Structure 1
């Protein structure tokens, strides 16, 4: 079954959607959309470093994302606003990564596949990495769900309960970095934030509890991945952007549904 490239692509898309959904809920609740984008932009620098030193891509992307998170925290603590720190570092990392990739004269690289994804070229090895990373992210999220939710909703209550909000923030950052690393081939560096934020935002008008929001967001992400693949196959459109467009259509539909419910 895995010899069919469409089957591999579908499994990869669903795997990334399931891993990104619960994290996307925290990104929405914490208003961290720009932070997720900065982490994704740092990934291209990690890719360049991995190719330059002949190292595995996944660990270098994780390192680059964690360095980005540490740099943002450091600048924010020195008097800069969070939006300013993210704006400076996100675009610096993206520009530096693009420049570094072009300087790798001995490496033949399809840069567009990293920026916008190349889900149809997913191999069995890539599929193993994606589902392995998704399993780690889901296990980490389930393990820290209650403390992370408490730290998100009320940091003061979290401290009173013996929960360190900074530790939970670091765990969330690590999970975001892992999702970015495994999602590069599916939707690419420039679009991974959309797969984090839009399904969670689309699920919000339909649910009443955080757990339900995470589950519905996972379903919306999986439907978007499969719908985007179908659209790309039938209309010959780029697959990564097609997935995001399907997600945006679902978001518009759920937003309209929520508005109609409030009127009634």
Structure 2
């Protein structure tokens, strides 16, 4: 298998309220793949999300960028390096990892895939995870993600947004902003009102927003930050282009 075909988007969310996040993810149809002390990995319809216990160095509400690969890690790292990505093999908190340090200071990890021996699949609604890399230099971010093996999906014609997709699931957004950062968002294929009903039934505050280019649901962040968005996938990509930034 080509390293480009072996990727899954799997950001890490550091939290002080794992039970609340579990409620949110269950409403999204996600299933638990792996549970380790202080760390859970959930499978969504597209992509995965790791929940990690917050710490002094990683306070609640922090999101870090990460991908998983099903090919041997050394092979995936070598393939990314051959594409010009500044990546090296290292050892993270949970084992071997490919460590990427982008020129804007962003750190991203490439990790071995979380095992799924029972072949668990997420249920309805069809939710994709979508971490967002914010940076003053969006081209750098897009080039790094492309070099790692993600495929460019759409770019907003005014340059204010781009996203990429992983062959084995998940999306990755790039948002040009003055400050570097990482955030968490989701996309739903279908009617976001379906998820709105599921979240509110589970006791999670959520609101629908019909303004902007895409209908969006925003639900209360279990870690007390700004509401987190779930965008409804647009069948009509007006204002977007299938082209590079």
* Shorter-normalised TM range: under 0.3
**Greater relative contact order structure (CA < 8 Å, 6+ sep):** 1
TM-score (structure 2 length as normaliser): 0.26
Answer with 1 or 2: which has the greater Rg. Answer: 1
Structure having the larger proportion of residues in helix: 1
